[in-house]
Amino acid sequence: MYPLKFKKHLVEKVWGGKKFNTILNMEIPENKNIGESWEVSCHEGGLSYVENGELSGKGLFEIIREKKEEVLGEEIIKKFGEKFPLLIKYLDINDKLSVQVHPNNEYALRVEKEFGKSESWYVIDASEDAKLIMGLKGGVTKEIFKEKVEKGDFNDIFNIVSVKKGDFINIEPGTVHGTLEGSILICETQQNSDTTYRIYDFDRLVNGKKRDLHIEKALDVINFGIIPEISKEEDRKKIELLGGTKEELIRGEYFNIDRFLIDGVFKDEINKNFKVYSILDGEGNLLVQGKTFSAKKGDTYFIPGKLEIIIEGKIEILKSYI
């Protein structure tokens, strides 16, 4: 096995922008607003296909079926079988992301027949006026929320926060969230799910119609007492390593995420399960078993379990793993 790079699955969104091109150096269609780039996926909404090396053209789902533990790791196969547990994306939000909520595993598996959606956002770039909706204001109960939503009154119920480049937010299932002002570029690590319950879409029209809302299901799953904490780059502990620094962004039930700032040569620990490198800035190389794989801003690499990776260059990486 070797580091796998996949063809990007680009998704047009009403709120999409052009930062994939201007900041992450992606080639995107000029006449489309691309909002999502699915980087590593076994979800039917956007399957990943290898574009490098001897496995070029094969789908990640095929490789998992054929190689199982060799690619995912024994623990992952025991827990999930051949169902890949994560979905890694970039998001370019240039207009308001609808106010939404995601279900937990129990509800999603029972109602939607797929995983719930716990997700984390790392802010790669944000305009100075970027504001998000993260949770509901204190005192907003289910009864108050339902009454206001039924009247179409969305004033004074959302918790609104400002964000900037380098911020990290873990969004647990049941958290009402969206964007309100400005633009924001995000690296998202999430469970393998595409279930979203839309609460409010700012009355905008898509092809002459308002998009569907999912109020009843949203009411079933909202956690009315949860407001996510925002981890600021200046406040996070920096762990000094040979060749760089590490920040432990999250240790969670569904995934772990570390941020690396590498300047020189860095030998990553060998993970028994797979991991994913999202290249957020800079450029360098991955050295694996005598072979060199170039890595630059906007790239994503899937690293099979038990591979020893040496990273060289001046490069910023998010590492997602289980």
- Active site amino acids: 198
CB-based contacts of 235-243 (< 8 A; 24+ apart in sequence): 236/168, 241/266, 242/266, 242/267, 243/267, 243/311
Distance, CA of 74 to CA of 4 (rounded, Å): 19
Q: What is the largest CA-CA distance in the chain?
A: 64
Radius of gyration of the chain (CA): 20
Answer yes or no: are the C-beta atoms of 41 and 8 closer than 8 Å. no
Read off the tokens for 207. Answer: 């092809």
Q: List, in order, residues 6 or more apart from 175 with CB less than 8 Å away.
A: 101, 102, 134, 135, 223, 226, 228
Tokens, residue 255 = 């995934």
Nearest to 9 by CA among 33, 45, 53: 45
Query: Distance between CA atoms of 80 and 177, rounded to whole angstroms?
Result: 28
Spatial CA neighbour of 143 closest among 228, 227, 224: 224
CA dihedral 135, 129, 96, 86 (to 10 degrees): -60
Task: Compute CA distances 296 → 25, 130, 153, 179, 301, whole Å.
Answer: 9, 26, 45, 28, 11
Whether 180 contacts 135, CB under 8 Å: no
User: Quick one: how far is CA 135 from the chain centroid?
Assistant: 18
> How far is Cα 275 from Cα 69, in angstroms, rounded to an integer?
13
